[in-house]
Structure formats: C-alpha cells, structure tokens
Structure 1
Amino acid sequence: MNFDEILIKLGEFGRYQKILYFLAVCLPGISCGVFMVISVFLLGVPDHRCAIPSYENDTYAIQSKFHQSQVDLYIPDKDPDDDTLLYDRCSYYDYENNTRTNRNASRHKTKCSKWVYSDEIYESTFAKQIDLVCDDRYKTSLAKSMFFVGVLVGALGLGMLSDAIGRKKTLSLSVILMMASSIGLAWAPNYIAFVLIRICVGASTSGVFMTGFVIGVELVGPSKRLFAGVVNEIFFAVGLVLLAGVAYGLRDWFWIELSLSIPTVIFIAFWCILPESPRWLLSKGRTEEAEEVLRKAAKVNGVQLPEKLFDDDVTDVPETAALWNLFTSRVLLIRTLIIFFNWMVVSMTYYGLSLNTGNLGGDFYVNFLISGVVEFPAYALCLLLLDRWGRKKCHCSAMLLGGIACLCTIFTISFGGKDLQWLTTTLAMIGKLGSAAAFAVIYVFSAELYPTVVRNAGMGASSCCARIGGILAPYVADSGVMIGGKFGQAVPLVIFGGASVLAGVLSLKLPETLDENLPETIEDGIQFGTPEYRKKPQLSLTVEAPTKDIGMTKF
C-alpha cells in the first residue's frame, strides 16, 4: 500500500489525527495569528503634538483655561483641509526675545524634539516610548516590514531544516525561539534591538505554524486535506479576536506583549506529546519508526492495520523538475506569473487591511475586532463553495468583492467624511472578508494548477511572493498617515482595492481545477484545461498537499 491508502484504512481524520491537529495546528495557530498583527498595538502612534516649552507636566489633554491658552500660543493650527488632526504634530512656535504675550508677536515655526501624546486609544506603545514620530515616523513602517522579512527567512530556513532534521525537532526549535524572542521583546531597550527581536519572532512564528501544520496534515487523508487546510485559518482568526480583547483591556504594549507571549511556554510540551511525521520518516528510510507511529494511531482510532503496511517501493523518491521548467513555455509562464501576482496581492491586502485599522476612524478596537470576526464567515463560505462553485469562481469572486469594496471607500471618504464613516469601515471590512477568503482559496487553487513534478518548487516560489506582499503591506498601510487628510485616508484602501481587482481579473485566465485530473508532468501542465488534456487517461484525481515550507496559506 502507498501512504494515502494506509491513511484511508487508518481513518482519514480519526481521533488520533484530530488530537494531533488540534495540538500541532490549532493551538499554535492562535499565537501565530496574534504575533502576525500585534504590531498594530506595539507600534501604534497616538495623536500627539509638541510639548509646550517650559511647561511642566504638559499633557495632550487640556488641563485648564490657562493650559488651553498656552497650547493656542505655542502650537500651530492644523491644516484646515485635514479634519483627522487636532494640532500640528511636529512644530511649535518659537518666539523671538522671549515675547509670548500674544500670538501676533514675532515668532517662527520650529521642529520640536519632545512630544505629548493622547491616551484615548493607547496608554503606551513602543513607538510612543521612543518617539517614533515626525521625521522618525517611517521607522514604524520599517519595523513592521522587517517582521515579514523574518517570516520569509524563517519559512525558507526552517522549511529546509524541517526536511533535513525532521518536523518534530524543527518545531521544538521554533517554539523555543518564539517563546524566548516574544517574551524578550517586552524588554527591548532601543529601536534596533526591537527590530532584530521582531525579526526573530517573525522567523519563529513562521516555523511554528509551518512545521506544526505539516505534522498535523501529513497524517490527514486525501479527502480531508481541504477541510484541514481551511480550518487552521479559523484558529488564526481566533488569535486576532483574542488580541483585540487583550489589547482593549490592557492598552499598554509591554503587558500586551507579555501576556500573549507567556502562554507559548506550554508549546514546549510538544516534544513529549507529538510524534515525528511518518511521511518524513519514510522519506529517510526509517520505516520501522514510521510504522510505530501509524500503529499507535490505529490503536487510538480503534482500527486494525494489515500486518504488512508498506510496499517495497514506498520510499522511492518521485520524479521532480526544477522551478525554471515553469518558464519554458508561454502557457506556463503566463499562468505562473498570474499565480505569483495573486499570492503577492492577497497577502499585501490581507495584512495591509489588518494594519490599516487605525486609519479608518471610528472606534479603533471595535474596528480591529470586526476585522478578525469577518474572517469566520469568509472561511465558512470557502468550505461551502469551493467544491460547488470551483476554485476559479471562488477566488475571482473573493478578490473582486474585496477589491471593489475597498475602491468604493474613495467616494465615502471624499464626499461623506465623518457622516459616512460607518460605511467606510463597512466597506473596508468587506475588503478584509474578501482577502481572507481569497487567501484560503489561493493555496488550494495554485497547488492543483502546478504539475506534480514541480508542485513543491512552484508553491515555494508562490509562498515567497506572498511574503513579499507582506513586506510591502506596512508601507502601503502607513502611506495614508504620511500623506494625511482625507486623501491620505483613502490612498491605502484604493491601492489594496485596485491591486485586488487587477489580480482577480487576471485569475480568470487560469483554468478551473475542480473535478479535473491534475497535471503530473510539464507537458500535462501545458495542456491542462484543454479538451485534448481531458481525453487523456489519468492516474489520480487527488493532489498530494505540499509539505515543505508552504503547507499553509498565510505563511
């Protein structure tokens, strides 16, 4: 028997697999969801203005009439076209000869080096703690972006390590790194240390989610892999909802980071609980150890496996091809570039909309909570429609829905202002729903489009494109703050919407994969979707889920 035949006899998603899936995929998925977007609270920049010179105990909130008069005297008026600001954020009036009796005295604007901050949304953030404002405002985007660089490094490095030393050892190493770096981040002494530690958190988060998913899914039968691939997204969304609640209650970046990092200590127990992946053991020729894991699973599932489990050729390495083979024909080249672009856009849009929550106006915490909650119906729709509508219709519909919703915000922001703030937020949340659904679909869709001989290589490259989108996301999300005003509020949403619509339209050029025999060779890939291809005799209707660094959607 081959491995999938063994899993069918074992029970494709029996009690043993459910326990393993919950421990290795679901629980870590919650923490991974938290760490992927926690920078919204760590690097949030509250409303601020220059501190009034020689005024002790100055605060952003007005203390008295005298305090208000000093603010009027020293702080320049805001831009009249920008109703998102209360004060000029970066300048104060410096009066010549210390003349401060009235606002008509000789004065000039001067950049300040000390600020006071509003406590309305955050009591404390790392950005506030070290004054990442005005000329240093770009550093918040850079820090967020470098986290996703860490995710890319972790996926590539820990993905290769997982294939070399095993899933279990790699998961344990990733857990220890995630625990140490996330807890240690709370005591980051300066900006450079903060960024370096966040890179480590990104790398380890990628490793934990990736490797845990692989361990869990490599024991799931063929017919249950779609379900397993989407359900893990639900726990990722649980992490977003949990983060919203904890952040609302604590409002201090130090305690938010610490309270959500300390629970990761329990993941160390995985070393004692989780087995090594039997698929990996077989790939290394360790058949006795693989059989031991499978028979233990059979005992828990209450089934009896045959005395002889493996065929003599079960550990044979399948034929593979190089990534460059995807660029050897015009058909595959166009198809591959469309897939790459869709991965990049869906990642940029998903994370960008999450990071852009604070730029929407309205209640910040409610907006963030809703951005997490909308993911649940997105994944439910994927489970209901993927095998009914097909991959292409689901992906294109999700991209167009989210993209058009984001584009429509330019009208609500430009012509409605605060009166239509609720509609702007609603449209942005529809955009988030669409990007979340598209993120869940694109993995299945692209995995089925790539020929078997180059599937892992193609999915690995696609995943790298997604991480490039994640690296770009903070810059697009923060571009609105840099521009300012109504136009600045609309710019990120327009970019996300326009890119999503373009990617969705391009995806129509891809062939449908539902109920199609999947391509095995490069030649099959070229002919896939044509009448001639459908007439060819095929071996299988199922796809072997890639199990290297791309065994999930958001990483």
Structure 2
Amino acid sequence: MSNLEDILKRIGEFGRYQIFLFLLLCLPSISNGCYMMAIVLLAYTPKHRCKIPGYDNDTWTVQGDYHASLINRTIPPSDDSFYDYDRCHVYKQTGTGNSSSYTMTQCSKWVYDHDTFDETVVTEGNLVCSEEMKPAHAQMVYYCGVLVGDLFFGMLSDSIGRRKTILICTVCLLISSVSTAFTPEFYSFTVLEFLVGASNHGLFILVCVMGIELTGPSKRMLAGVLMHLFFPVGLLYLTGTGFILRNWKTIQLVVAIPCVVHVCLYWIIPESPRWLISQGRYKEAETVLRKVALKNRKPYPEKIDLSQIDKVKPGRVWQLFTSKTLAWRTCIIFLNWFSVSQIFFGTTIHMSNLGGNFYLKFLLLAVVELPAIAITIGLLSKFGRRNVHAFFMMLSGGSNLLTIFTVLLGGKDFEPFTIALCCIGKVGSTGAFAVIYIFSSELFPTVVRTGGMGASSCVARIGGMSAPYIAKLGTLVGSHYGQALPLVIFGCISVTAGIFTLFLPETVNKRLPDTIDEGARFGTSKEDLDVYVQASDYSDDSEETKFPPPEEKTLL
C-alpha cells in the first residue's frame, strides 16, 4: 500500500469509531457558532437619545410630554419633537428675555431603549454618537484575532501535534472568554476579544483538520460539510441565551463556561496518524490505526511498513503564482473566500439595522442555515462543486440586491419581505461557505494544499473584518438608503465572485492534482486530464488514474 488512504479504505473510511470521534470534534463547532456572532449581541446599539439636562428620572419612554420649563432648557419652543429624531445633540438656552438664544451642543448623557437588552457594551460605555465606530472597531479586532489564530495555531499544530494544540486553544479560549465578562472598559474588552477570536477559530480549524484526517477519501466531503451543520446549533443557543438573559456579561459567561467540555478532547481524541507519519513516529501511528480497525471491527492489514508510505515534498504558497492558469484560479478562489465571509457575517451584523424584532430576525438567520447545509450535501455530488458554489453565491448576492426594492420603494410595510430576502441570502452564503472549503481544497495541488487553504482563510478574515464597517454605513448614512446600502455592497461583490467561479474547472469525481505542473494542467482542454474515477479510487495507483502525458501529435 502506497499511502494512508489505502489503509483507511481497509480499516474503515468513516466507521463507527470515526463517527464517534467526529461527533466529539463537532462540539467546538457549536461554540464557534456562538463566539463568531456573539459580539452582535454584546455590542448591540439600541435606540437612544440625549438625556434631558436637569431631569434625573428621564427614561427612553418619556418623550414629548415634558414640563414646559424642561423643554425651554433643552430644545427651542418651536420644535418640541426634537428628541424623536436627534440622538446626539441638545439645545441650550443662553441669555434671558429678548436676548436669549439657543445653541446646539453635543450631549454627554443618553437614555436607551431597553426592549431588546437590559445592558450591552454600548450602553455601559455610552459608545454612541462620536464613539459609535468603536463597536465596529471591536468587531474588526475580533476577526483580526481569527486571522492570527488560524495562522499561529495552524503552524503550532504542525510542530507539536493536533491534540496538544487543541488543549492549548481550549485553555486560552476559556481564560480569555471568561475574563471578557469582567472587563471594566472598552479597550480591555477589545484586547480580550482579539484573544477570544484567535483561540476560538484556531480551535475550530484544528477540529476540522482532525475530522478530515481521520476520515477516508470518499467520505471527506460528507465530513467537511457536516462539520458546518453544528455552527447554526451554536447560533440557536446564542439566540436563546440572549433572549432570556438580556445582559451582555451574563451572556458571555453562559457561552464561555460550557467550553470546559472541550478540555476532555485531549484525553479522548487520538493524535492524527497522518501527522505522526509526517514526523516519523510510525509506531504511534500504527497504534492509532490498529485501534481504528479494532473499533470498526475491521482487520488491520499486516506486513505494512508505514515508513515506506509515499510522501509528497511540500511546496510553497507563492508557487501558486508561477503559472498564469494557477494564478488566475487562485485569485478567483481568494475573491470567493473574501466575499462569502463578508456577506455571511455582514448580513447578520447589519440585520440589527433593519426593522422588526431583533431576536426573531436572529433566530430566522440561524434556522435557515440548517436546511442550507442539508441542501448542499444533496447538490454537491449531483451538480458538482463549481456550479453549486456559483449558484449559492449568486443566490446570496441577488437576494441582497433585491432589498433595494423592498427597502427604498416598499418602506416599513415591506419589512417582512426584506427579512425574507436576507434569509434567502443567508441560505446562499451558508451553502457557499460549506462548498468553498471543499472546492478550494480540491483545486489546490497537494504540495501546496495546506498553504493554499491557510492563505484562503486569511483572505476570508479580511472579508470578515470589512463586514462591520460596511454594516455601519447603514447607521452613518441613515434613512432607508442607509438600510439598503450595506446589502447592495454585499450583493454586488457576491454576484461578481459567483460569476468568476464559472471560470474554474470542475473537481467532482476527478483525479486531483498533486504537483504544481499537474495543477496548471488540471481541467484544461489542451491536455486530456479529466479522468473520471470513483471517489473511493482517488488513491489507486493504477495507470488509468494518473495524469496522462501530453498527447503526441504526428503528421499525416
């Protein structure tokens, strides 16, 4: 047997033992769903207005029915509805009698609408008006932490192993997330959010890698998609937590404390046999593989020398740009990672700026992810990676663009249709997110697959970092135009990325490229490289599954 895939075919590609391990590895995916969207709740900006000077008992519900003397001290007598509109300024009277005048000044105290939350980071720190960009900065820093965590913990796992790195990530996540609930001010909150983002998503990437590395080649697509099915479960948990508790500190603690369970993975999950082999630890790798065979009730193939398994010399990411064909494809893949991350997170962040009940909208955007992933599993094998991904990207982008009509032309009466279009867009972005993981990993040649996926993840985080600022445009612009603008931007980029996807080659049921040269020739009409094989035969060494040499042309 020439590689690990051949051994996994014999001892079980996704047997009962791997299913058990896979379900355990999915637990951090639930936490990932909570943490990736938690800041939408923690840093929620409620409706607010300036607190009336000299009126200590002023609340959000007290509007327009003030004592005349209070009105005269805060707003011009000719405009007693001022507080229904201005959130950041008050009028102060200077002088008396005929020489009196009114000066607009920025207020320093506010009253908030507590219908959605009793307290958030925004209301506690008064992060409104001149400070209103700070929540977007915190969200950007969180996604920056995600980028750093993917890179740092990915490299660390290649060095010290998957299990140890999972334990380190879990401990870091617990410490930083629990500490976040006790931060006294905004800057310490932001620093801890960076650490939460790094450790949370670093842990998620590691369990995804472990789940795939313990699975046989014909079942990896299923395992890769199913891992994302637990993300919306975390969103549902977060929605219920927010609805019941209503306080950002309590919500943070209730999300953080269950992560203690992840510590147990270190003692239950075995080390990746693929990593052990790469480190020359063949005896330990054999022990793991024999345990898999025993638990799956499969015979372990004897007379196997793991030290003789074929190894592919790793390449470098920059080699993806040594060929025009590979460079073009890599840029398209990067554009799709950027767009799908931006629209996936941006739609959820921006939905708080739309009308309707906050929790109902959040719940709907979480629930629609479940059928989206189920649909993706059914479509992938039948219609291929390229067409399904392009469909989902254009569905997501097109739905966001259609909100122009419901927001600008329909107004408040069409809010349910706007929410419905956002939900359809979330279905598209969820499906696209699940497909892009599989599609891009199959397009990148084996020698640079890990590096290519790492670079793609970095580009995706840049898309995530841009999402809060685009969503914030809705608040800065104001009116119906502010509600529509972020969705239009998300939609245009998504549709563009989906169209470019159609220029990529299909990968389903095809022998995937190993080298840079094979990657450049993959799917081209010049070379007869589209050799169809069964998914379970990807690792077969027979000549019919190899990339054939260039066709020899003879003169007649």
Greater shift, 440-449 or 65-74, is seen at: 65-74
Query: Residues 98 and 427 from structure 1, CA distance in 2 versus in 1: closer, same or farther, beyond 3 angstroms?
Result: farther
Match of residue 279 from structure 2: 284
Match of residue 397 from structure 1: 391
- State the AA in 2 paired with 1:40: V
Match of residue 48 from structure 1: 48
User: For the Cα contact (< 8 Å) 2:239–2:363, is it kept in 1?
Assistant: yes
| Aligned partner of residue 531 in structure 1, secondary structure | coil
- State the AA in 2 paired with 1:30: I
Structure 2 CA distance, aligned partners of 1:458 and 1:305? 34
| Identity score, percent | 47
Match of residue 518 from structure 2: 524
Match of residue 299 from structure 1: 294
Greater shift, 248-257 or 457-466, is seen at: 457-466
Match of residue 345 from structure 1: 339
Give the C-alpha shift of residue 329 in structure 1: 2.5
Give the C-alpha shift of residue 287 in structure 1: 1.2
Q: Deviations over 1:290-339 (max 9, x none)?
A: 1222222222222221333434422x541233222221222222111111
- State the AA in 1 paired with 2:382: R
The equivalent position to 1:471 in structure 2, one of 448, 465, 472, is 465
Unpaired runs of at least 5, structure 1: 80-84, 545-555
Give the C-alpha shift of residue 58 in structure 1: 1.4
Structure 2 CA distance, aligned partners of 1:76 and 1:12? 75
Greater shift, 63-72 or 388-397, is seen at: 63-72
Structure 1 CA distance, aligned partners of 2:47 and 2:351? 15
Superposed, 1:187-202 pairs within 5 Å as 187-202=182-197
Whether 1:31 aligns to 2:26 is no
- State the AA in 2 paired with 1:330: K
Runs of 4+ in structure 1 off by over 6 angstroms are 536-540
| Aligned partner of residue 89 in structure 1, secondary structure | coil
Q: Deviations over 1:480-535 (max 9, x none)?
A: 11111111011110000010111111111111222222222222222222234335
Structure 1 CA distance, aligned partners of 2:377 and 2:61? 49
Structure 2 CA distance, aligned partners of 1:376 and 1:153? 29
Structure 1 CA distance, aligned partners of 2:304 and 2:433? 37
- State the AA in 2 paired with 1:21: F
Match of residue 217 from structure 1: 212
User: For the Cα contact (< 8 Å) 2:51–2:111, is it kept in 1?
Assistant: yes
Give the C-alpha shift of residue 57 in structure 1: 2.0
Unpaired runs of at least 5, structure 2: 540-556
Whether 1:380 aligns to 2:380 is no
Match of residue 16 from structure 2: 15
- State the AA in 1 paired with 2:95: N
The equivalent position to 1:421 in structure 2, one of 415, 418, 422, is 415
The equivalent position to 2:95 in structure 1, one of 59, 77, 97, is 97
| Aligned partner of residue 366 in structure 1, secondary structure | helix
| Aligned partner of residue 528 in structure 2, secondary structure | helix
Match of residue 488 from structure 2: 494
Q: Deviations over 1:255-296 (max 9, x none)?
A: 111111111112122222222112111111111111222222
Structure 2 CA distance, aligned partners of 1:440 and 1:229? 8
TM-score, normalisation: structure 1: 0.92
Structure 2 CA distance, aligned partners of 1:120 and 1:87? 18
Match of residue 58 from structure 1: 58
Greater shift, 45-54 or 522-531, is seen at: 522-531
Structure 1 CA distance, aligned partners of 2:248 and 2:530? 59
Tell me the number of residue pairs that the alignment of Structure 1 and Structure 2 aligns: 534
User: For the Cα contact (< 8 Å) 1:6–1:309, is it kept in 2?
Assistant: no
Give the C-alpha shift of residue 377 in structure 1: 1.4
Match of residue 270 from structure 1: 265
Match of residue 148 from structure 1: 143
Whether 1:122 aligns to 2:117 is yes
Whether 1:157 aligns to 2:155 is no
Match of residue 363 from structure 2: 369
Query: Residues 539 and 248 from structure 1, CA distance in 2 versus in 1: closer, same or farther, beyond 3 angstroms?
Result: closer
| Aligned partner of residue 280 in structure 1, secondary structure | helix
| Aligned partner of residue 38 in structure 1, secondary structure | helix
The equivalent position to 2:348 in structure 1, one of 354, 357, 361, is 354
Q: Deviations over 1:442-466 (max 9, x none)?
A: 1111122222222222222111111
TM-score, normalisation: structure 2: 0.91
| Aligned partner of residue 94 in structure 1, secondary structure | strand
| Aligned partner of residue 385 in structure 1, secondary structure | helix
Cα RMSD after superposing both structures: 2.4
